Amino acid sequence: MTATVTLPARILSLVRLGRPLYLAGGFLMHGLGVAMALYTGAPLNLPALLWGQAAITAIQWMTHYSNEFFDLATDRTNRSPTRWAGGSRVLTDGHLSPQVALRTAVVLGALGLGAASVLTLAVRPGPFTLPLLILPLLLAWAYSAPPVRLEARGLGELTVAVLVPRMTPLVGFYLQTGQLSPLPLLAAAPLCCIQIATQLATEFPDAIGDAAAGKRTLVVRLGGAGAARLHNLALLAAYALLPPLILAGLPPLVAASACLSGPVAAWQGWRVGRGAWANPARWNSLALWGIGLIMGTAGAETLAFLWLLGWG
């Protein structure tokens, strides 16, 4: 006899399916963009802040649900899921129909497009508002959806680096200033490198299942040892870029704040170099510290801009 699934249980499964914990990154990166805008002298545009966050969160959440739907075959072949990788397991465990994930993704995409339309037609920060929000929406959908499936072509890691630490602060900055500026790109450069390393750290446990399902991530393409070298090169590049970024216009205090995460990055790189990527007992820790590294560095940069603004 099949047990009846209650409505609260279905709602809880739907929330778990969307992995809401990861939404924090969208808030943080958007906040970094707003902090940069205030630093340049722009007044706070509250409607742009709220509608911008609504658009960013809807697009990001759409990606979570679409990934769960389009990666279902891959997740089913994954015999080593972790807390941070391998999907939410809601669909693989049969708690909800896959179509629920797809429909939710479509609804969230429509909400994101709606918020972008309000920004464009009512708030009107500038002429590039709609393109700056449509491009992330399309890239986010193409990340796992066929026929493009960027994540299966070795382009997923770069796509996430473009979407999260580069495009999100840029959108936050533009919605407040109505201007395109190199400052968000300068501040995002080390974050993009760290994001690539973080993506690799979360993909190590999935390599066997991804390969079996034809999902050709960089870890699958390069092999574990090759991906480990790329991981450490990306971390090294994040901090090696800081001196030329200062020369290009990044405030020295912001660069110094990014350096605060350097000891954690060095420790993370040392562990990966010593083979932690191949040790299942270290997989959760590698992903956790990778996520902490990108969040902590972005948070430090945000505080530095606010300090320069006089909030410190």
Each residue of 184-217: pLDDT tens digit?
Answer: 999 999 999 999 999 999 999 888 888 888 889 9
On whether the CB atoms of residues 277 and 204 are closer than 8 A, the answer is: yes
Residues 6+ apart with CB under 8 A from 174: 33, 125, 126, 128, 129, 132, 180
What's the CA gap between 242 and 73, in Å, rounded? 41
pLDDT at 3 over 60: no
What pLDDT, on a 0 to 100 scale, did the predictor assign at position 311?
67
Q: Out of 89-93, 165-169, 270-274, 292-296, which region has the weakest mean confidence (pLDDT)?
A: 89-93
Class level of CATH domain 7-309: mainly alpha
Position with higher pLDDT, 92 vs 108: 108
CA 232, chain centre distance (Å): 19
pLDDT at 40 over 90: yes
Confidence of residue 93 (pLDDT cuts 50, 70, 90): confident
Q: What integer is the mean pLDDT of 214-235?
A: 95
Q: What integer is the mean pLDDT of 105-133?
A: 96
Each residue of 262-271: pLDDT tens digit?
Answer: 999 999 999 9
> Packing angle between helix 24-39 and helix 168-177, nearest 10 degrees?
40
pLDDT at 51 over 60: yes
Domain residue spans of the chain: 7-309
pLDDT at 1 over 60: no
Measuring CA to CA, which residue among 199, 168, 178, 157 is closest to residue 290?
199
